């Protein structure tokens, strides 16, 4: 029996080795096929740059008439896992000892940080303050473009809520119809409603701010944009008056009648009414022209049909339009243009603009509208096209409208070629495919539309970045140099990079060295210089970059790869963990996965790859040579498979240990077998929001909504989408509608969450408590019920019902909602039991993978020395958390070490210009009577939030003090 088991074991081992060898073969074979295919596309390899956009192996086909051709291919066919494993061992030539990394481990010379696409100031706080002052002195009806400049400046912060507020303010102060249309479309694009199945481009969320019909109305009323719009109930402004017999309008005076002959037919009109349409017609019918003496006038060759002329007659008598077919309305428009009938042209323009409701119709009508210079009709067509982006970005007709220089000139004739329009279009193109020719053309048009200095700097810098990615180094350098001339100092980085690519490493080093010498050094300056440094100076620059800005990911990756090159794989993983702990990105997860594969820790590697795929589903690994999802499939052969029950157990374990990346990986695996399960997509979105990956979170929410199997469930996800994009009241309405259809946990929870997002009085708190109790009565899993119990406990604490709060937290902990330790600690603290509170937070620290917030919270319940230790640890784990800096600065200020207190805040503000830290530093400056610096910090903070009460009060006091001093 034992001999049989030994032989059986040997056979299994041999089989395993064969499968491993075939696994290696599959990686190599697949990767080589893909690389050969990509070379067939003539795509340039980008091994020396970070991935900008994942390659899509199944691009949509384009028309052969497209003047902007996009490379297409038939669907690629790759060997399947089963087909490889089914081959005999003789067909596998690779040794079983060969690496599972077909392209080896990464090297330090194989990657570099991207040049940032946004405006980047060498003194960001001063730029914020200057922009706030500009807003203060600008008249309200001119503020729209200033808010657009604010958007461009704040883009580098990567805060979606802040950027959305800038766009909303810009739309609020938009005066002309064109600006209203573009800003409304931009706000819609930020929500990516085009991805919602069943949605229409003209759908409205119910507010004037984004209403497509309200955008087409002339006038300036900044206070109305946040009101409810009337688009769902308003009647058409153009009357639908029908006339059955045109002869009803005939007069008895024969001299008042004029007959317009078109072919063999006549249209009888009232001479005076026709003459009143315009000066040219009046001159023709009553002036010195021979037609003034004629009763019959030949209009056969004027370019209008009999029906069209009858429509002219109808309008001349009633000053109204009937419900004519589109071709008749176009004839009216053409006739009005030919004879300068401004009133009729305006009416036709307005009426036709109100009829545009289909993208194909808009693409046809916009050409007629541009030819006839029908401003409102062009705007209406433009609105529909913009609200369909990015779906129609590469449509040949759309490209012809926007991309060529003559197309921009054509739009300019009707006031539709603006910097705003091309800024929006270029951002859509950059996000979709940064390296496409379309992106280059749109940025060139953006450059042509730029008038202000900041506009020129932005357009030229972004064009330089795109050209750099396309490896057009000389043109990129030229664009960057022009951006520098426009005052954008950061573009020197682009010039240095372009020179470096052209073999001028020393010149690149000197350029960056000059910035460091001339301006206050920041992390990105040393990071950039490290690319051109040699020997020990390189690692010194990388370390200085982290010291000045610990949020930059490149230095961590560089140090990790150096360790990999020195065969210190475990140390490399520890280094990458430092950045992944507070800033999750696909490239960092990829690098860590490489390291895990090198250690043959396949479960950890596949976990990172699955998390990576959650962030970017089409990600290409190994410098763009292999699809990440295929590598995950291959690695899964060497990982023990999980049943659905196993997956749920693993998800509970990771969720309870506050392992957000691990939880994402498990959910990704669960979705492979159940793509349409919306509740899993929703869980995914919650984790992504927790990791501060808002774009990916919103994508998951949209997928949850699209895969929902019932109306009440769909309404809940739509409500969350609205809530997360700042539309709280609309989210509440969705929750209430869902509850009216079906009482569910998620609907009650959404309503409670949205209601709690305000300053709660006793009545509101009671309502939230009732909603959460109703939610807990509905079926749900322990993960969500734990969250509801935690939230309920928080409301009880706010109502000073500490015993009830403690019961909720204990119940949540029983179902492994680990974060409830923090709430329970708060209860102990409010009961004056600081020791128990500290011990409770220690339990959270012991259990949680992500511990920064736990250390920060425990510091509130410790003595001063322990608090400093905990806050130092919180800063190490997550340098983006601002409370530790503010606490340490306040302690220094209490010890009368004012200079050190300001320096503590200044160091953090240099990479995290946070509202609270700016406010605190302004207060410090005020306390030492440094009014100018206090004012600057207040202005910078108010640029981030113009309604922040504490900062407004401080700003007012400081201004008064400054006036007294002068």
Residues 551-603: tens digit of each pLDDT = 999 999 999 999 999 999 999 999 999 999 999 999 999 999 999 999 999 99
How large is the average pLDDT for residues 220-226?
88
Cα(332)–Cα(329) distance, integer angstroms: 5
Q: What is the pLDDT of residues 481-500, one digit of tens each?
A: 999 999 999 999 999 999 99
What pLDDT, in 10s, does the model give residues 376-396? Answer: 999 999 999 999 999 999 999
What is the distance, to the nearest Å, from the Cα of residue 791 to the centroid of all Cα atoms in its chain? Answer: 28
More confident residue, 939 or 74: 939
Across 498-514, average pLDDT: 96
296 bridge partner residues: 259
Which residue has tokens 């793509």?
Answer: 675
pLDDT at 100: 62
Q: What is the pLDDT of residue 746?
A: 95
88 pLDDT band (50/70/90 cuts)? Answer: very low
Residue 897, SS3? coil
pLDDT category at 781 given cuts 50, 70, 90 is: confident
Lowest pLDDT segment from 90-94, 336-340, 666-670: 90-94
Is a pLDDT exceeding 80 seen at residue 801?
A: yes
pLDDT at 590: 95
The mean-pLDDT minimum among 37-46, 359-368, 460-469 falls in 37-46
Q: What is the pLDDT of residue 83?
A: 41
- Residue 683 to residue 655: CA distance in whole angstroms: 10
pLDDT of residue 965: 79
For residue 253, the model assigns a pLDDT of: 45
Q: What is the pLDDT of residues 452-485, one digit of tens each?
A: 999 999 999 999 999 999 999 999 999 999 999 9
What is the spatial distance between Cα 507 and Cα 333, in angstroms, rounded to a whole number? Answer: 61
Convert 822-838 into a string of H (helix), E (strand) and C (coil): HHHHHHHHHCCCHHHHH
Tell me the C-alpha distance between 325 and 885, whole Å. 68
Task: State the average pLDDT over residues 246-261.
Answer: 60
pLDDT tens-digit series, residues 889-901: 999 999 999 999 9
Backbone angles phi, psi at 682, to 5 degrees: -65, -45
- 3-state SS, 695-706, equals HHHHHHHHHHHH
pLDDT on residue 573: 97
Higher pLDDT pick, 624 / 945? 945
Give the residue, 78 or 714, on which the prediction is more confident: 714
What DSSP letter does each residue of 295-330 carry, written as one string? SEEE-TTTT--HHHHHHHHHHHHHS------HHHHH
Pairing of strands 620-621, 265-270: unpaired
Cβ pair 553, 576 in contact under 8 A: no
Q: Which of 699, 711, 710, 638 is nearest to 671 (CA)?
A: 699
Which is nearest to 825 in space by CA: 803, 809, 814?
809
Q: Looking at residue 34, what is its pLDDT?
A: 38
Mean pLDDT of 858-882: 94
* pLDDT tens per residue across span 275-297: 999 999 999 998 888 888 888 99
CA–CA gap between residue 345 and residue 934 (Å, rounded): 57
Confidence grade of residue 232 (pLDDT, cut at 50, 70, 90): low
Each residue of 75-84: pLDDT tens digit?
A: 333 344 344 3
Q: 35 pLDDT exceeds 80?
A: no
What integer is the mean pLDDT of 646-655? 92
Q: Determine the Cα–Cα distance for residues 546 and 555; give it in Å rounded to an integer.
A: 7
Task: Please tell me the distance from the alpha carbon of residue 887 to that of residue 867, in angstroms, as a whole number.
Answer: 10
Task: Tell me what pLDDT residue 852 has.
Answer: 94
Q: Could you tell me which residue, 4 or 441, shows the higher pLDDT?
A: 441
pLDDT of residue 201: 87
For residues 672 and 42, the model is more confident at 672
Q: Which residues of 377-416 are buried (b: 16+ CB within 10 A; e: fewer)?
A: bbbbbbbbbbbbbbebbbbbbbbbbbbbeebbebbeebeb
Beta pairing, strands 620-621 & 626-627: antiparallel
Query: Is the predicted pLDDT of residue 22 greater than 90, yes or no?
Result: no
Cα 414 to Cα 381: distance, rounded to the nearest angstrom = 13
pLDDT tens string 681-711: 999 999 999 999 999 999 999 999 999 999 9
- The C-alpha atoms of residue 804 and residue 797 are separated, in whole angstroms, by 8
- C-alpha dist (Å) from residue 116 to 52, 644, 815: 11, 42, 45
**Alpha carbon distance 97, 93 (integer Å):** 12
pLDDT greater at residue 613 or residue 764: 613
- What gap in Å lies between CA 699 and CA 425, rounded to an integer? 21
Split at pLDDT 50, 70, 90, the class of 763 is confident
Q: Convert 695-727 to b/e letters by CB count within 10 Å (16 or more is b).
A: ebbbbbbbbbbbbbeeebbbbbbbbbbbbbbbb
Q: Has residue 47 got a pLDDT over 70?
A: no
Please give the pLDDT value at position 186.
Answer: 96
Distances (CA, A) of 821 to 656, 660, 805: 11, 17, 12
Q: Is residue 345 predicted with pLDDT exceeding 60?
A: yes
Q: How confident is the model at residue 204 (pLDDT cuts 50, 70, 90)?
A: confident
Measured between alpha carbons, how far is 152 from 209 in angstroms, rounded to an integer?
Answer: 20
103-112, 776-785, 862-871: least confident range: 103-112
């Amino acid at each position: 029996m034992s001999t049989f088991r030994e032989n059986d074991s040997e056979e299994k081992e041999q089989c395993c080795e064969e499968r491993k060898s075939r696994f290696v073969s599959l990686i190599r074979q697949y990767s080589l096929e893909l690389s050969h295919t990509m070379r067939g596309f003539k795509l340039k390899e980008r091994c020396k740059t970070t991935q900008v956009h994942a390659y899509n192996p199944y691009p949509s086909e384009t028309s052969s008439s497209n003047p902007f051709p996009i490379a297409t291919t038939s669907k690629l066919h790759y060997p399947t896992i089963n087909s490889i494993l089914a081959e005999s061992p003789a067909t596998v030539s690779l040794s079983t000892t060969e690496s599972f990394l077909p392209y080896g481990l990464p090297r330090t010379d194989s990657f570099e940080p991207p040049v940032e696409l946004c405006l980047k100031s060498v003194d960001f706080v001063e730029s914020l303050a200057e922009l706030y002052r500009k807003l203060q002195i600008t008249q309200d009806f001119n503020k729209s473009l200033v808010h657009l400049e604010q958007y461009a400046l704040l883009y580098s912060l990567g805060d979606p809520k802040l950027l959305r507020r800038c766009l909303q303010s810009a739309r609020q102060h938009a005066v002309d119809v064109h600006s209203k249309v573009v800003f409304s479309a931009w706000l819609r694009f930020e929500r990516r409603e085009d991805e919602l199945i069943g949605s229409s481009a003209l759908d409205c969320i119910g507010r004037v701010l984004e209403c497509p019909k309200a955008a087409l109305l002339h006038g300036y009323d900044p206070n109305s944009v946040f009101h409810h719009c009337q688009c769902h109930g308003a009647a058409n402004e153009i009357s639908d008056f029908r006339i059955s017999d045109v002869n009803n309008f005939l007069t008895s005076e024969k001299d008042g009648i004029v007959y317009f002959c078109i072919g063999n037919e006549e249209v009888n009109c009232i001479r005076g009414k026709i003459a009143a349409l315009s000066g040219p017609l009046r001159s023709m019918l009553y002036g010195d022209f021979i037609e003034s003496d004629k009763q019959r006038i030949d209009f056969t060759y004027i370019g209008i049909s009999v029906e069209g002329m009858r429509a002219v007659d109808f309008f001349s008598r009633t000053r109204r339009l009937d419900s004519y077919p589109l071709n008749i309305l176009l004839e009216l428009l053409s006739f009005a243009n030919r004879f300068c009938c401004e009133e009729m042209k305006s009416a036709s323009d307005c009426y036709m603009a109100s009829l545009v409701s289909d993208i194909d119709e808009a693409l046809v009508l916009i050409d007629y509208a541009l030819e006839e210079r029908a401003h409102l009709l062009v705007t209406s067509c433009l609105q529909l096209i913009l609200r369909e982006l990015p779906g129609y970005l590469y449509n040949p007709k759309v490209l012809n409208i926007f991309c060529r220089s003559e197309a921009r000139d054509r739009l300019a004739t009707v006031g539709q070629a603006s910097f705003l329009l091309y800024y929006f279009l270029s951002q859509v193109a950059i996000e979709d495919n940064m390296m496409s020719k379309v992106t280059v053309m749109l940025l060139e048009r953006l450059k042509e539309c730029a008038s202000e200095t900041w506009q020129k700097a932005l357009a030229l810098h972004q064009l330089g970045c795109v050209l750099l990615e396309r490896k057009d180094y000389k043109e990129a350098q030229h664009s960057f140099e022009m951006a520098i001339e426009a005052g954008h100092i950061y573009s020197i980085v682009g010039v240095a990079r372009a020179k470096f690519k052209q073999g001028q490493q020393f010149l690149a080093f000197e350029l960056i060295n000059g910035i460091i010498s001339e301006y206050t050094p920041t992390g990105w300056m040393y990071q950039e210089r490290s690319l051109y440094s040699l020997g020990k100076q390189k690692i010194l620059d990388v370390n200085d970059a982290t010291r000045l800005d610990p949020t930059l990911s490149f230095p961590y990756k560089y140090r990790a790869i150096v360790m990999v090159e020195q065969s210190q794989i475990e140390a490399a993983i520890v280094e990458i963990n430092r950045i992944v702990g507070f800033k999750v990105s696909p490239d960092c997860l990829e690098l860590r996965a490489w390291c895990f594969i090198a250690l043959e820790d396949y479960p950890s590697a596949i976990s990172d790859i699955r998390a990576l795929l959650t962030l970017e589903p089409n990600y290409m690994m190994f410098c763009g040579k292999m699809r990440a999802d295929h590598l995950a499939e291959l690695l899964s052969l060497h990982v023990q498979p999980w049943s659905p029950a196993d997956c749920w157990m693993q998800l509970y374990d990771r969720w309870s240990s506050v392992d957000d990346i691990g939880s994402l990986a498990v959910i990704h695996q669960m979705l492979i077998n159940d793509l349409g399960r919306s509740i899993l997509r929703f869980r995914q979105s919650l984790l992504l929001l927790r990791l501060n990956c808002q774009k990916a979170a919103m994508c998951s929410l949209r997928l949850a909504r699209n895969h929902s199997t019932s109306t009440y469930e769909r309404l809940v996800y739509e409500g969350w989408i609205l809530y997360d994009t700042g539309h709280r009241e609309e989210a509440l309405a969705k929750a209430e509608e869902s509850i009216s259809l079906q009482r569910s946990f998620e609907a009650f929870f959404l309503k409670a969450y949205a209601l709690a997002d305000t300053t709660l009085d006793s009545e509101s708190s009671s309502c939230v408590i009732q909603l959460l109790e109703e939610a807990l009565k509905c079926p749900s899993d322990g993960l969500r019920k734990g969250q509801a119990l935690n939230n309920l406990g928080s409301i009880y604490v706010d109502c000073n019902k500490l015993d009830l709060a403690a019961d909720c937290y204990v119940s949540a902990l029983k179902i492994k909602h680990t974060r409830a330790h923090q709430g329970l600690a708060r209860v102990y603290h409010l009961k004056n039991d600081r020791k128990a509170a500290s011990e409770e937070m220690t339990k959270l620290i012991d259990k949680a993978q992500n511990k920064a917030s736990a250390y920060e919270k425990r510091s509130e319940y410790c003595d001063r020395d322990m608090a400093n230790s905990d806050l130092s640890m919180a800063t190490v784990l997550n340098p983006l958390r601002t409370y530790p800096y503010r606490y340490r600065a306040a302690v220094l200020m209490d010890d009368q070490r004012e200079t050190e207190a300001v320096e503590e805040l200044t160091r953090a503000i240099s990479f995290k210009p946070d509202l609270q830290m700016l406010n605190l530093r302004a207060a410090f400056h005020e306390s030492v009577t440094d009014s100018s610096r206090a004012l600057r910090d207040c202005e910078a903070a108010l640029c981030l939030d113009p309604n922040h009460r504490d900062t407004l009060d401080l700003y007012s006091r400081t201004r008064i003090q400054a006036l007294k001093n002068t």
